[in-house]
């Protein structure tokens, strides 16, 4: 970057199909969304880029509204970035919005809340066209029971029971503003809106809620798992392809 040029700070909203990528965050020996963004966008800004993402989505996870921020000395107007990015990015990564922000904006630390969706394809026979975009569960699921159980996570709780090992050393206390489960035909969708999420928290919640939907666990049993703060008592980690980062609020 030319230090003599005036720096600008940009915020991009990015959608991507995570199927082909080993998550968002750059890795040494695997292709990630961050790497592709940095390498391809550098060609339109005229210098190497280092972007910061709001969420470090895992391999196979998708996003409607990932947010990245970066400093640039490039002069391309924000209004032209969406069109220019389309010409250099692969079709499974799309910049959907670009705007200038102040120097104190941080994609991750400035975020106030996020919405995640999780989709389950609930049918006896697999659908090859949904295999990368939903968790296929063959046994019938009771969405009403799961919706009733998931309401118990609304509010401020210690989510240690749904926290995977390997995440950053942060407080397990999070506030969930809304949560629910709905069905449309064979597709089930969970929605979680909260001020923050622990490593694999949504996938671990869904894995446990599926036990409720299968009749293996009651609503009260789910509530006791939440209160118990013991990951070994909760269900499996739902697979990544059903998870979507929907929106981030600042």
Q: Mind telling me the catalytic residues?
A: 58
Residue 234, token pair as written in the block: 């909760």
Residue 40, token pair as written in the block: 């391809």
Residue 107, token pair as written in the block: 């994609």
Rounded to whole angstroms, the Cα distance separating 100 from 136 reads: 41
Q: What b/e string do you get for 105-132 counting C-beta neighbours within 10 Å, with b at 16 or more?
A: bebeebbebbbbbbbbbbeeeeeeebee
Rounded to whole angstroms, the Cα distance separating 118 from 98 reads: 26
Instruction: Answer for the pair 62, 245: CB distance below 8 angstroms, yes or no.
Output: yes
How many alpha carbons fall within 13 Å on the CB side of residue 54?
Answer: 30
How many alpha carbons fall within 13 Å on the CB side of residue 45?
Answer: 27
Secondary structure of residue 76 in the 3-state scheme: coil
| 121 annotated as belonging to a binding site for a ligand | no
Taking alpha carbons only, the member of 188, 18, 214, 15 closest to residue 118 is: 188
Rounded to whole angstroms, the Cα distance separating 228 from 134 reads: 29
Annotated binding site: 116
Query: Residues forming the annotated binding site for substrate?
Result: 116
């Amino acid at each position: 970057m030319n230090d003599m040029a005036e720096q600008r700070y940009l915020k991009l909203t990015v959608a991507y199909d995570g199927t082909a990528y080993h998550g968002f965050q750059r890795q040494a020996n695997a292709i990630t969304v961050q790497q592709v963004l940095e390498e391809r966008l550098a060609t339109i800004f005229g210098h190497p880029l280092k972007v910061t993402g709001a969420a470090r989505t895992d391999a196979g996870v998708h996003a409607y509204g990932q947010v990245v921020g970066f400093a640039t000395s490039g002069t391309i107007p924000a209004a032209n970035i969406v069109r220019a990015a389309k010409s250099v990015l692969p079709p499974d990564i799309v910049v959907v919005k670009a705007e200038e922000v102040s120097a104190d904006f941080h994609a991750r630390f400035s975020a106030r809340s996020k919405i995640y969706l999780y989709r389950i394809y609930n049918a006896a026979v697999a659908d090859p066209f949904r295999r990368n975009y939903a968790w296929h569960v063959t046994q019938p699921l009771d969405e009403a029971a799961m919706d009733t159980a998931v309401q118990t996570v609304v509010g401020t709780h210690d989510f240690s029971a749904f926290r995977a090992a390997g995440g950053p050393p942060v407080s397990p206390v999070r506030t969930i503003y809304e949560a629910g489960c709905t069905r449309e035909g064979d597709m089930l969708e969970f929605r979680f809106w909260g001020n923050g999420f622990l490593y694999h928290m949504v996938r671990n919640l869904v894995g446990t809620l599926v036990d409720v939907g299968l009749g293996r666990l009651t609503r009260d049993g789910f509530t006791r798992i939440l209160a118990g703060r013991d990951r070994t008592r909760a269900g499996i980690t739902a697979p990544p392809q059903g998870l979507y980062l929907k929106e981030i609020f600042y």
